[in-house]
Structure 1
Amino acid sequence: MPSATVTARTRPSMRVRHQVALGLGSDLSEVGRARREVRECLVAWRQDEAADSVLLVLSELVGNALRHAPSSITELTVTTGSDEVLLEVRDGSRKPPAMNPHPDPYGETGRGLALVDVLARDWGWMPHADGTKTTWAVLPATAVTDFVPALLPVCRARRSLPERLVPAAQALAPAAAGEPEHVERDLRCVLQAHTAGAHHAYVMHLDGRDTGSVWGRWDRDDGPPGPVVLPDCGAPAPDPLDEACCQYAGHPGGHCYQLTDPWHP
């Protein structure tokens, strides 16, 4: 199914309460930096209720800019009004954004602008005389509780944990009372809607005061996984779901509340 080009139009005007602008480098790791800095701003501005939706849309817009205009300067501007948040991402590509109207629900890419279309109150793009463009999105400054599982499938990229790494994983979580801990060897990435960064797959649970798990992480599709200890996310699910996100703290993409079983096919 061919992608549909989005018609250019000027972003709506809004009364500015707070604003921050960030210059971003060309590496995709800048998506994570932008998320962290904008979250801090939203908390300081007391508009962190909308942070999850804002940061998810931010990840898609910034990630698209860095992938499609990697040699240009990318600028992110975040503006808040009385009841909305405006995201603007400027890059050096003249190519307009294109949205796939029927993205592959099991693909790792191709869902970004469809996700923006669901979460944003309004969005679009506008060209500039110097050959750059700005892609913008307006979101409500309150939490978006409508859950859209069809747009957030689990990645499920697969790897096998090498036998030589099993003792290393067990050493990170010493067995209680001499009982061996179960180590998951058939790894499946459980990140949702992640279009950049490393894959992460559950390996084993950590008990104790500081909750967390051992994860297998690999940066490339063909790269070897390495064990790493990460704290649990714990973000509460929207009603009526009564559980916490089953991924790790600081993960990219959407929260996962076991709408599908991430550990098994």
Structure 2
Amino acid sequence: MLHPHHHAALERFIEHYTQNPEVQAIVVGGSLAKGFGKASSDLDVLIVIDEAQYTLRKASQNLSYYSEDFTDYEGGYVDGKHIGLSFLQQVAEKGSEPARAAFWKSFIAWSRHDPAELQVLLDRITTYPEAGVAERIHRFMAQVQAMHWYVGEGEKHDNPYLLNWSATRAVLFTSRMLLAHNRLFFPYHKWMLKMLELAPDVPDSYLQKADQLMRHPSVEGTRELCDLVLQFRDWGTPSTYWTNFFLQDSELNWLTGHTPIEDL
């Protein structure tokens, strides 16, 4: 939700920046559009530019945007990136979950032309991809089962790094299972648990237990969280044993350079 000072900053930004003829549209995203922001949050913008300029900016690695010129509240700034319609088409066709999540609940604040074409792309991007969801859940589940084992190895070998790593990844992959089950995008790590608060079908105590585990990593807490999610429902029968998925996705993924858990 944008506060009045965010709206004022957005108006000033649009008035100034759209004088540039290469700018085709301004899309507002980020934590404010998603409803996760605060009064002190920055304003996130996606600046849609024409393809020729987008190609030039991409070649010169000049896609990011940052300015404090349009905000009048403490710590405020406008942050964003330049994109082209071709980029949006790629996200719609093959974007990762974080790439799609960046546009979830975004809105067109200004457009030089009829915004209908742009809105169609945004709708395609933010439609959760149903294809392959069961296998993705099973691959996330394999990671959860691996962490159930690894956390014990951390304790057995008096290895606090391994123990903490296992606890953190247990939260990550149980969350990813639940997000996929609820057809909610993984928005990357900053907003993952916030997104999960919106999920209608999760274990009642999950968020509380995940928070407690992150504050006090332990073997017992890790295994309890893993079991809570693994036993939450019938997840179906995976096509292979969990160790095979873990091997493919965490040890041999360099062979293909691609795995279903690549958007970490």
TM-score (norm 2): 0.27
Q: Which entry has the higher C-alpha Rg, 1 or 2?
A: 2
Q: Which structure has greater helix proportion?
A: 2
Q: Which structure has greater strand proportion?
A: 1
TM-score (norm 1): 0.27
